[in-house]
Structure 1
């Protein structure tokens, strides 16, 4: 039973007890004031209905992804550049590209989804034009932040398997375009497999790899390495320092993407 359900049940018990006391007091004090008793009981019933409705809404919201088909996103620009898996990193673009960036992200991270929405299309266009090469690190930082836990790792593993099939970018873009809410239910392995099928991945190796967590150990080890890498530590203010997603690195330094023109500046610097 989740915390919300326990809280709601306790609240119902307290309300029922209060209602019973109110009915008893009404009988003792009013010589059988029937109207007052009916009013008290009605109020208790209404409050209970509101509480039950809240629990049902909370459960429905928490499990919003259950039974859904993840809509497949067409990433047409990805057809114009090479893409390969290098360990737990996916390399997109030509090795001859003058600028390379490393992007660290988590499929459950809401800011990563915002980053993808703001810059994803632009990045893919620059890769396709040969100006940019991207090394994508899907790190399972929020593995405990879904209910049940594990979606962050399952999604990262499935994305690497999609890269083996030449479908990383559309798989990646689809998961960010329809991201589950942090703290709630993610997508199941079967849903991730179905997304692969909808993107044209038909191999049994993909489905088996998703189900048995083929790259889970490597991804977990990479997450530990990244979290302890001093070059990836950022100052988040108020004495808080550490690794966070999304992180973009170019030429060994973390890039601030608070400037919406950050990518063009990087590409122009490479030309000068």
Structure 2
């Protein structure tokens, strides 16, 4: 082999080696780039999972905000006579000139607002003998807690509290510390403890809460109210039906949007 041929062959070998080294370098670079992309993707996935898990933890905590809570008590400032009449709790003097029927649900947020705005006024007029209240606590929103049932269980417990002469305090405590609609309510143990904290010592209260003593009576009352056309209102947009809170006086639904509605009811009854 001549010198020229050896030189040419050496040049070809160098070119092949160069291409091979370049290919290896490109491959390594690609592998490095892929590694970086994989690292970025993994980082994004981990971040997303952290957000999802964090969101689930926060959501569950918010949903179960009432779990393990002790329900604060609200004690009455005035003595009000009370008695249970089936599914209705009657407050005040039966000879009072004015009588109002109040329909509410312990889970209804508008009912809590109504109680906050007018509860003290109503109790004062009951205490001074000008108004008698027939309180209907309904299991209307029984499916609107998680788990379902708080609306019924709280109404049942309130009737049992009325048997013990503690309805007003029990009623006021549940509205003052109302669970959020769509989330966890208070369980039976919490309702029983509230009764104890309000001074209910009779074992019949706890037993009645646990076995749902008045649930059948409350279901029948809810059915009666739902079928009573005189309790239906026009909510606009073609929606007509019953809703809480509803106040009735002299057989007619009262406009509780009028701040003076209670004085007007009493004025009509005493004029």
TM bucket, shorter chain: 0.7 to 0.9
- The 2-side partners of 1:29 and 1:228 are apart by 78
Cα deviation per residue 1:7-52 (whole Å; 9 max; x = unaligned)? xxxxxxxxxxxxxxxxxxxx99943214333233222211110111
Cα 1:36–1:87, aligned 2, differ >3 Å: closer, same or farther? Answer: same
Cα deviation, 1:169-226, whole Å, max 9, x if unaligned, reads 0000000000111111111101000000000001100010000000000100110110
- Provide the residue aligned with 1:108 in structure 2: 107
Q: State the match for 1:134 in structure 2.
A: 133
1:239 corresponds in structure 2 to 238
Instruction: Tell me what 1:47 maps to.
Output: 48
Q: Deviation of residue 95 (structure 1)?
A: 1.1
Q: Give SS of 2:141's match.
A: coil
Please report how far the alpha carbon of residue 264 of structure 1 lies from its aligned counterpart in structure 2 after TM superposition: 1.1
SS in 2 for 1:175: helix
| Whole-Å separation in 2 of the counterparts to 1:240 and 1:30 | 66
Distance 1:29 1:165, change over 3 A: farther
SS of 1:211's equivalent in the other structure is helix
> Do the aligned partners of residues 148 and 29 (structure 1) sit closer, same or farther apart at CA in structure 2, a change above 3 Å counting?
farther
Unmatched segments (≥5 aa) in structure 1? 1-26
Give the equivalent residue in structure 1 for 2:74. Answer: 73
Q: 1:133 to 1:46 in 2, by over 3 A?
A: same
Count of paired positions: 244
- Find the structure with the greater CA-based Rg: 2
Q: TM-score, normalised by structure 2?
A: 0.87
Provide the rounded CA distance (Å) in 1 between the counterparts of 2:211 and 2:30.
Answer: 69
What's 1:255 paired with?
A: 254
1:125-175 per-position Cα deviation (integer Å, ceiling 9, x unaligned): 111111110000011000111111111000000000000000000000000
Task: Identify which range, 132-141 or 36-45, moves more after superposition.
Answer: 36-45
How far apart, in 2, do the equivalents of 1:266 and 1:224 lie? 27
- 2-structure distance, mates of 1:67, 1:86: 33
Q: Which digits, 9 at most, give the CA deviation of each residue in 1:71-128, with x for residues without a partner?
A: 0111222x1x311001110000001111100000000111101101111111101111
Q: CA RMSD in A?
A: 1.5
| In structure 1, C-alpha distance between the alignment counterparts of 2:256 and 2:48, rounded to whole Å | 48
